[in-house]
Amino acid sequence: MAFLLGYAAATIAVLLCILHLFHRRLCCRHPLLTDYPFLGMLPQLLTNLWRCHDFCTDILKQHGATGEFTGPWFTKMNYLITSDPINVHHIMSKSFPNYVKGPEFRDIFQAFGDGIFTADSEAWKYNRELFHALFKHKSFEVFLEKTIHNKVQNSLLPILDHVQGKVVDLQDIFNRFTFDNICCIVLGRDPNCLSIGFPEVAIEKAFNEAEESIFYRHVVPRCVWKLQKWLQIGQEKKMTEACKTLDQFIYACIASKREEQCKYKENETGEAHADLLTAVMREGKGHEDGFLRDAVFNLFVAGRDTITSALTWFFWLVATNPLVEAKIVAEMKDKLGSSEENSGVEEVKKLVYLHGALCEALRLYPPIPFERKQALKADMLPSGHGVNPGTNIVLCLYAMGRFEQVWGKDCMEFKPERWISDKGGLIYVPSYKFIAFNSGPRTCLGKDSSFIQMKMVATAILRKYRVQVLQGYVATPTLSIVLLIKDGLKVQITKREF
């Protein structure tokens, strides 16, 4: 009798397993990977996590740029994944109101608070209008140019002089440079992270750890990282400690700014600070500390990590493509001359080939490699894939830059010429195809200032130095929400005769 009961239970279990698998196959009509019972597609993703971005690119190429990913049973790891520009245009522009960040996104990106990157609806509109008003002022461009110029001349170039002939991590140098720079722009203070001795700065380290933890939340079931958060173990413990460090730093800066403002009211001769935190506090005098904290955090990520990523991959590509480097240097000599003073905003805007090279680096290595959206209502994508209310969608921006049908058979080549017309001008590429700065109403407000900063740094370095990557060194993308190079970019710096 016991044998029969055991046999019956086993039979029922097998039937339930078959029914579960059949149900999942019906629900997932365009599977990207093998859909295992109970575990879904997660095992294959975890097996290839070390090459996550390239793995996703390979899979999407095999499935027409769009497909479905299902996670383990009883988890919410079900996504529609796409790199199809037409789908991206539909989601980011044509049907923009239907696709939001959503509560799950804000839960994962909790460190960002309710800032512009995580906000939806009216909160997002308010943030957008506020920062647009600040960025469009001519005074901001002047302030930005002065800040970058001073940091380049007083810190970046002296450091590169100091490390000549030595093996140095150029990504670390850029990380420190952009951190100091964004502190000056947002807070009006320079922490001198980029200085001889390369001191460790706790706040800079905290940003890196928070971003790595956010990526981790994308690749494990929600119940797992929620449990780790509750127990304060593993990656979630790092996230908690990082956020504590960040909050202490940011709130201290806010308190200091409020004291400064009180002094300026008492002393009318005090000079007005042009940093963004002061400007935000003046624009909306009723802003609470929580709003200012989220604004500062979002500005830091936008102005620090993305620029670090773009500059690092740009110099990796230039250093490994000597013909491109020669053309950039030749253009600089032709358009800027020999004087170092000819590297301001108006001068670097003339550098068309350099602009094309930067666009190529951003195409192949977008600083933000993926974007998340959630559907409010049922919809049908141009590719024919149905979207249900609540469907989570992942846009793989990294993969899009590697599709032959989008960029041609030479899509894996670093080819600045693809951005330049026969007449020598820049070729316009729609943002849903070249999506390094997002697309549609959420297009990055700092796009123009980012190009200015990158060009000023690139011209300052390439005018004086030759960057040589160590022989045999291979750049591998990190596992983070920002696309950096794992273990840094190891190079040698030598003088250049300009």
pLDDT tens for residues 241-274?
999 999 999 999 999 888 887 776 544 444 444 7
CA distance 126 to 5: 64
Tell me: pLDDT of 40 over 50: yes
Q: Say what the pLDDT of residue 498 is.
A: 66
For the chain, give the mean pLDDT.
Answer: 86
* pLDDT band per the 50, 70, 90 thresholds, residue 467: very high
Over residues 288-304, mean pLDDT:
90
| pLDDT, greater one: 300 or 497 | 300
* pLDDT band per the 50, 70, 90 thresholds, residue 74: confident
Q: Say what the pLDDT of residue 18 is.
A: 37
- Give the residue extent of every domain in the chain: 29-495
pLDDT digits (tens, 9 = 90+) for 99-113: 999 998 999 999 999
Over residues 432-458, mean pLDDT:
93
Residue pair 490/473 in contact (Cβ under 8 Å)? The answer is: yes
Over residues 310-316, mean pLDDT:
97
Span of 15-19, 299-303, 363-367, 391-395 with lowest mean pLDDT: 15-19
Q: Say what the pLDDT of residue 284 is.
A: 65
Span of 165-174, 216-225, 350-359, 483-492 with lowest mean pLDDT: 216-225
Of 137, 104, 132, 138, nearest in space to 116 by CA: 132
Residue found under tokens 């000079």? 271
Tell me: pLDDT of 313 over 70: yes
Of 371, 360, 364, nearest in space to 442 by CA: 371
Q: Say what the pLDDT of residue 230 is.
A: 94
Q: What is the largest CA-CA distance in the chain?
A: 96
Tell me: pLDDT of 346 over 90: no
Residue found under tokens 């097998």? 14
Element (H, E) at 235: helix 234-266
Write down the pTM of the prediction: 0.87
How far is CA 254 from its chain centroid? 25
The region that residue 116 occupies, defined by phi over 0 for left and psi between -120 and 50 for alpha, beta otherwise, is alpha
Check whether 444 is labelled as a binding-site residue: yes
Which DSSP symbol is given to 272?
A: P
Q: Say what the pLDDT of residue 443 is.
A: 93
- Looking at domain 29-495, its CATH class is mainly alpha
Q: Say what the pLDDT of residue 28 is.
A: 43
Q: Say what the pLDDT of residue 421 is.
A: 94
Tell me: pLDDT of 219 over 60: yes
* pLDDT band per the 50, 70, 90 thresholds, residue 416: very high
Backbone angles phi, psi at 370, to 5 degrees: -150, 160
Q: Say what the pLDDT of residue 474 is.
A: 87
Residue pair 366/354 in contact (Cβ under 8 Å)? The answer is: no
Q: Are strands 79-82 and 392-396 parallel, antiparallel or unpaired?
A: parallel
Dig out the tokens for 456 from the structure.
């000023």
Dig out the tokens for 296 from the structure.
């500062």
pLDDT digits (tens, 9 = 90+) for 376-415: 999 999 999 999 999 999 999 999 999 999 999 999 999 9
- What percent of the chain is predicted at pLDDT more than 70? 89
Tell me: pLDDT of 176 over 90: yes
Span of 151-165, 194-208, 388-402 with lowest mean pLDDT: 194-208
Q: Say what the pLDDT of residue 15 is.
A: 36
